[in-house]
Chain A
Amino acid sequence: DAGVTQSPTHLIKTRGQHVTLRCSPISGHKSVSWYQQVLGQGPQFIFQYYEKEERGRGNFPDRFSARQFPNYSSELNVNALLLGDSALYLCASSLAGFNYGYTFGSGTRLTVV
């Protein structure tokens, strides 16, 4: 069975540019969450979507946005990139809520230069 898949695996962007990261959850999982992990730190919550609706948003600026599609895949968009946006972006999925643990993808490593 395929796990949570994220694309691309690595990405280099210039300050001020826009980026779109993609995530396909495990088949049957309806909830997708996004986390940002800066080097040397724990992951920080960005968004959670369930059944295509935003259920929660972390303390991130409006430059960050996301959506979930009818097939439950998801996109994370970041506008006007800053150097500080360089991080590993992790997508996680679960059947419904998080009670039995999220399954994480391997992440997209974003470098902003």
Chain B
Amino acid sequence: GEDVEQSLFLSVREGDSSVINCTYTDSSSTYLYWYKQEPGAGLQLLTYIFSNMDMKQDQRLTVLLNKKDKHLSLRIADTQTGDSAIYFCAETPGTYKYIFGTGTRLKVLA
């Protein structure tokens, strides 16, 4: 089936690191993505990782990919209140569509 799984909620204190996890389904996905959605807004591309990579770092964001377990994670260092949002991972089976996860709501406590 096409069920990309994420935990629903994550709460962290400001300044701590956040780790958002995702389990995807299609091992043929060439790219895997992380998007952020703030209330009432569309989706903002945060970062992506190519399937032949294990890790990608982009400023405060670190993406880890475990292809064997089909596990993707997003680490946000020094989490700020502005990081509070819903985070979606997405896989790309085939060549034209994304399959999004259920989304993880991150709440950052001051």
Contacts and interface: CB of A to CB of B under 8 A. Distances in A.
The listed residue with most B CB atoms (<10 A of its CB), out of A42, A99, A107, is A42
Interface residues of B, number: 24
B45 A98 contact: no
Interface majority SS (helix, strand, loop, mixed), chain B: loop
B96 A42 contact: no
B99 interface: yes
Given A99-B30, A100-B48, A43 B96 contact: no
Given A42-B100, A43-B88, A102-B45, 13 more contacts: A35-B100, A43-B100, A44-B100, A45-B98, A90-B42, A90-B43, A98-B98, A100-B48, A101-B45, A101-B48, A104-B45, A105-B42, A106-B40
Interface of B: 4, 30-31, 33, 35, 40-45, 48, 88, 92, 94-103
What are the 6 A-B residue pairs with the smallest beta carbon separation, nearest first? Answer: A42-B100, A56-B96, A104-B42, A45-B97, A101-B45, A104-B43
